[in-house]
Structure formats: C-alpha cells, structure tokens
Amino acid sequence: GTDSIVHSADSARTSSSDLAPSMSADLCKNAQERPEPVKAEVKGNIPSWLQGTLLRNGPGIFSVGDTSYEHWFDGMSLMNGFTFKNGEMTHQSRFLRSDTYKANMEAKRIVVSEMGTMAYPDPSKNFISKAITLLNHTIPDFTDNGASNFIRYGSDYFATSETNYIRKIDPETLESQEKVDYTKYLPVSMVTSHPHYDKDGNTYNIGTTIAEKGKTKYVLFRVPDALALKSVETICSLPCRSLLTPSYCHSFGLTDNYIIFIEQPFKLDILKMATAYMRGVNWASCLKFCPEENTLIHLIDRKTGKSTEIKYYTGAMVVYHHVNAFEDNGHVIVDVIAYNDTSLYEMFYVRNLKNNTGVKDAGYSTPSYRRFVLPVSSDKGVAVGQNMVNLKYTTASAVKEKEGKLVCQAEVLCEGLELPKINYDINGKKHRFVYGNCVEKSALAKQVVKFDTETKNMVYWNEENCLPSEAVFIPRPNGESEDDGVVLVAVVNLNPGQSSFMLILDGKTFKEVARANVNGELHKDVHGLFIPHES
C-alpha cells in the first residue's frame, strides 16, 4: 500500500540545501480530489487584470489495491483548476474519469497498461481471459489516462497524454465528458501533448502513424478555430527515416511560415512493442536511443506542406521541449532543451525517486538550452565546408557538407533549464525571456528561473522544502514589454503544517507579488493551460 511508499525514503541522507528526506517519497502518494471550488487565502495583491483559469494536469493516483505503477508519469490523471477573478483565486481538483480510471477502480487493481507499467491480469483469472489480454497487447489499444496536458481544439478542451485517445473536459467544473479517438479523424497511433496555436486560434499538432498500409509516417495537422476535430486538415505526411522505428516526438516548433520537426535517434521499436507484453517488459523499454546516429531537422512550409530542399542534420540528442522558433533574415532559429541521453525518463521510475538522496542524481545528465540556426536560402554556389549562418548575435553554425545538406552546430545558451515557457503572444517571433525550472542537479526542480537570452542573466525564486511546478507567463493586456505580466507557479509545500500555494511573480522583476494558499495539499504536476476569461 501507499504507507510503505511514503516511509521508505525516510532514511535517505540530506543536507540543508537538499530536499527533506521524505520529499521524493511524497511524490508517489495518492492524492485526494477536491471537486468543490474553495477560495484561497491571498497574501499580497493579485493584479485585477488577471482573469482566467489555469488548468494543471499530472499524475495523482499511483497505487490501486495491492498494485502500484512503476513509473511516476504512469499515475492516473489529477486535474487542478485555479480560477482568478477580481483579485481572488479559487482552487478545485478532480480525477479524470477515463476508461482506464473506471476499469482500475472497478477491478481494485491496475488492469490497464501504461508506458512504464505493464498490467497483468489477476493471477486467479482463467486461461481464456489471459489469452485475450495477450492479444489486446500485441497491437496495443492504448490507455486514455490523459495525465500530461490539456489541448484546445476549436472551443473544446481535452485532457491528453500522447496516445490516440483524449478526453473532453469541462474547464469550469473539471468534469470528464466524452472520450475522443484521433483515429476516427486521422490515421495516428500517437499524438503529442504540446500543440501550437496561431493568432487566428487554429491548433497545430503532430501525430505518428504506425505501419498503416505498411508505412510508418509522421502526420502534421491543423484544426481550424471555429470547428472541432472532425474538420481536421492534414498539412503533410513525412515518411519515417526507418520504417519500423519512428522517432519519439514530444513537441515541435512553429513560426509564421514554417513548422520545425526534429526527427531524433530516440525511437520506438514497433516490433519490440508488439512482443513486450509476452516478454514481461514495459513499452518504455522499447524506446531506444542510438547515440551513433544523427538527428534530422525538418523545415516544412506551413502553407504548402512541403519540406525545404535543404536538409539539416546535427548530432544525436534527445529533445522533449521546444522553447520557441522564429525567422530572421533568411534563417529559422530553433531553440530547444536537449539532453545527451535518455536519463530523464529513468529518473522518474518510482524506485529511482524513492532512492533520491538529494545528491546529484546518479546517471542524470543535465539538459542544455541549444539554439540551432537553419539558413533557408539556396546553397547553390556555396562552397562545401562553408558556414551559411550570417547572424551577428549567435555562434550557431550550419556548414555545407554537400549539395542540399547542412550540418548544424548549436550555440548553448545555458545549462539546467527545463519546462521552458515564453510570453506565448510572441510565439514564432524573436523572444528574449524564458521562464523555466532549474534542473541542474536533479530532475526534480527546487527553483524557478527567469532567463535573459541576450545578457544570459538568470533570476531565481525558491523557498525551503518547496517544489515548484512549471512557470507559466501570463501577459498583461496591452502590456508595454515582452515581460510585462505575471508568472504563475503552483508550489508543493512540504514544510509540516504549511499549505501548498499558487505563487504569483512579477514577470519583469521575478519578485513575489502574491501567493494564494490552497488550504491543503497540491501534488507535483506536469503541464497546463491558461484560459483567459472574456472581459
């Protein structure tokens, strides 16, 4: 049960700068939902212009009956809503009523497999039901436990992970509504949980098609603002470099004219996935990183759906999050958070979280903020070996290797920043500031940061025994500068007897403007979405 989970890490060593010993264990404690909105106790002043709801999503149930998830990301979705109105804030939370949730709760054990946890039938079940379970896993019917983020398509909001299932929710009450299967509209087995939205409100996303008519491909699509998913338009399909091992894609870049898709040597082995259940291993073990291979960066024209003639290559890397991308003088600049290996996912296995001694996690590699520059002008007449980047403010290069092929070296802007957020009003345009979590020593952030990409200056916020979530920037209406607004951070407070809180920082100074105590526990979450209220 959960008790042993909670206490098992108490013996871990800690120093004053590190986490309290039980802190990492608390991450895997089952949450309680609080469906009724409760008014928070506000210290300081929440700006009156801040009107809207911040939705947050993440795992909230880690054990059912005698069974537990092996990976933190597998936990069943807990949705949080923080609603700001006239200087006040209310908080509520609900579990996503997914089919996965219903099946697990009814069986009183975990019966639906997740990426990091294979669920096996109750040992007392008969042979036939075991055989059927096996068949269901050969061509996986994925979970609908959308615990990663929220997506807007038209005027509808959905809880999402990265499978073909999403679930519509009511953003005001957090009630779960109908389940939606992407495959009814597009031939995709997986879709990212990080869409993009343009100025007209259209939603863009990328899905992966596994072996449809013998082809494995990536599908880039757009859902028009006024319409729902049923009016989806395919922008283009890109064949995978290797038929049976599509690259894992968590996010992508969008500029006024281009979509940037990174085909990285971090791949899903489809054949291994088909046999994983029989072999007694999880699907995550079928993700493989090939450090000896290169990364291909696709630049796709948003209007025509065609890839550029020039192909851009760089070394092996693992990218989960794009920061932003923008165009400048015949170049497309692509900012990403990149790792040299897959240790990030490994860190969040429950057994590894429990062993976290607060020292730099063994085997954890710090991510770096990398800026790639892709020249779009023709390379005809350019000598082999020549760097085609001619921007004054970056050391990134793109060297011609042969006709139509450039090899790109990134400029590293900083180390140890994750969950990057910008002022989304300037998404696709040149940005200066990035808000994020500090993950220099551990995948578990203990502070949030504002990073100035020009001066490389960093300003931090942290508090003893507090775990901040993603730092979400909300621009002030008609603000005067890029950082004119507030940053919202849900903070898990692990100090005994103290309430967790929503932190509101000034976007310019990064100083605390207010905090709203939620009168209870918050749990570490993953991603979220701010829905402004129409004034």
Report d(CA 503, CA 365) in Å as an integer: 29
Helix H or strand E encompassing 345 = helix 343-347
Q: Is residue 123 part of a domain?
A: yes
Q: How many domains does the chain have?
A: 1
From first to last of its 535 residues, the chain has per-residue pLDDT tens of: 433 333 323 322 223 334 444 555 578 899 999 999 999 999 999 999 999 999 999 999 999 999 999 999 999 999 999 999 999 999 999 999 999 999 999 999 999 999 999 987 776 667 676 666 666 655 557 899 999 999 999 999 999 999 999 999 999 999 999 999 999 999 999 999 999 999 999 999 999 998 766 789 999 999 998 778 889 999 999 999 988 899 999 999 999 999 999 999 999 998 898 888 888 889 999 999 999 999 999 999 999 999 999 999 999 999 999 999 999 999 999 999 999 998 888 888 888 887 764 445 556 789 999 999 999 998 899 999 999 999 999 999 999 999 999 999 999 999 999 999 999 999 999 999 999 999 887 778 899 999 999 999 999 999 999 999 999 999 999 999 999 999 999 999 999 889 999 999 999 999 999 999 998 789 999 999 999 997 5
Which residues sit in the known binding site? 194, 250, 321, 527
Considering the domain boundaries, does residue 22 fall inside one? Answer: no
Q: What is the pLDDT of residue 19?
A: 47
8 Å CB contact between 495 and 465:
yes
CB 70 within 8 A of CB 282: yes
Looking from the CA of 357 toward its CB, the CA atoms found within 13 Å total 6
Task: Note whether 499 and 89 are within 8 A (CB).
Answer: no
Q: Is residue 19 part of a domain?
A: no
Gap between the Cα atoms of 440 and 355, Å rounded: 18
Residue 190 lies in a domain: yes
Where is 101: in which H helix or E strand? Answer: helix 99-107
Cα-flanking dihedrals φ and ψ of residue 337, to 5°? Answer: -100, 120
Rounded distance, CA 325 to CA 334, Å?
A: 4
Rg, Å, the chain Cα set = 23
Q: The domain containing residue 356 runs over which residues?
A: 34-532
Residue 346: its pLDDT value, please? 86
CA distances to 320, 432, 433 from 453, rounded to whole Å, are 20, 5, 6
Annotated binding-site members for Fe cation:
194, 250, 321, 527
Cβ(202)–Cβ(196) below 8 Å: no
For residue 488, being part of any structural domain is answered with yes
Is residue 8 domain-resident? no
Tokens describing residue 521:
């526990």
Beta bridge partners of 44: 514
The residues that bridge with 418 in the sheet, in sequence order, are 437
* Model pTM score: 0.92
18 occurs within a structural domain:
no
**How many residues are recorded in the chain?**
535
6 sits in which H/E element: helix 2-7
What local confidence, expressed as pLDDT, does residue 225 receive?
84
* Residue 290 φ then ψ, to 5°: -115, 90
Residue 176 lies in a domain: yes
